[in-house]
Structure 1
C-alpha cells in the first residue's frame, strides 16, 4: 500500500479509495455477523432473523444510497467537502435516521395487517432496527468517503 506523509512528517499508509460495492458488502456483513453472533449467544431466534434481514439489509441499502449520493456529487456538493467531516456526518446521520425511523414506524403498523408473517417475526422491531442500522451505516460510509476525498485533495 503506498505511503504518504502527514503534517508532522510521519509516514502513513494511504487508505483504500472509496469503492461503493466494498462499502455495501461491509455494511451488510458486519451487522449480520455481530447481531447474528449475539442471537446465537443469547438464543434469540427473532434477533437471528432480524440480523440478516432488517438489520443488515437496512445497513446495506443505506450504505448504497448514501455512498452513491456522495460518490456522485452529493448535491449541493460544496457543503459536503467544505464543512468539517463530523458536521457532514451528523447532518446525514440525522436525515437518514429520520427517514428510516418513519419507514420503520409505518412498516411496523402496516405489515401485521397486510402480510402473512411467519411465527417469530416481530414487525415492531422495525421501529428500532431500521433507524439504528441507518445511523450506523450512514456514519461509517460518510466518514469513510470523506477521508478518501481529503486524501485525494492532498495528493
Structure 2
C-alpha cells in the first residue's frame, strides 16, 4: 500500500520521480542570496581579500536576493502570463530577462553612487566602487537563474495540464 506524502500540498515539495515541478519564490530568493555569497566568500578567503569577504555578504548576496525577488514577483504578475513570455523560445525569454536584470543592476549602481556622493561628498568609500561590478553582475546571474527555473516550471506544468 502506498501512503501519500502529507508535505506535498503544504510545502509544494514533489516526489523525486514527479514530472510536475513547482516554482517557489522564497526558495529562489534564499538561494539567490546564499549561492553567490558563499562563492564570493570562498573567493575572498582564498585570495585573502577582506573587501570581497564583506561584499559577499552585503552587495553581492543582497543585490542577488533583491533581483531574484523582483524578477520572481514580475514573473508571477501579469508579465508572466503574456503570450511572448510563455510562447517564445526558452533562451530568448531568459536572455531578455537577463539583460533587463543587468540593466537594472547598472541603474541601481548609478543611483547608489549618486546618493552616497550627495550624502558624503568628500569621502570616497571603497564599497561604492564595487557596486559598479557587483550590482549588474548579480542582477544578470540572479535574473538568468530565476527566469530559467520559472520557465522550466511553467513549461512543465503547462505541458502536464495539456495531456489531461
TM-score, length-normalised on structure 2? Answer: 0.80
Q: Distance in 2 between matches of 1:63 and 1:15?
A: 22
Q: Distance in 2 between matches of 1:15 and 1:133?
A: 29
**SS of equivalent to 1:140:** helix
Aligned residue among 127, 146, 149 for 2:132: 127
Partner of 1:108: 113
Q: What is the alpha-carbon root mean square deviation over aligned residues?
A: 2.2
Q: Is 2:74 the partner of 1:69? A: yes
Q: Is 2:47 the partner of 1:45? A: no
Q: Distance in 1 between matches of 2:124 and 2:96?
A: 38
Partner of 2:65: 60
Partner of 1:82: 87
Partner of 1:32: 37
Aligned residue among 24, 27, 43 for 1:19: 24
Structure 1 pair 21–75 and aligned structure 2 pair: CA distance change class (3 A): closer
Question: Contact between 1:28 and 1:56, CA under 8 Å: does it hold in 2?
Answer: yes
TM-score, length-normalised on structure 1? Answer: 0.84
Question: Contact between 2:80 and 2:86, CA under 8 Å: does it hold in 1?
Answer: no
Q: Is 2:159 the partner of 1:154? A: yes
Structure number with bigger Rg: 2
Q: Deviations over 1:62-95 (max 9, x none)?
A: 1001011112231661111010111011111111
- Structure 2 alignment gaps of length 5 or more: 1-14
Q: Deviations over 1:84-126 (max 9, x none)?
A: 111011111111211211221332344145249x997421110
Greater mean alpha carbon deviation, residues 138-147 or residues 38-47: 38-47
Aligned length: 145
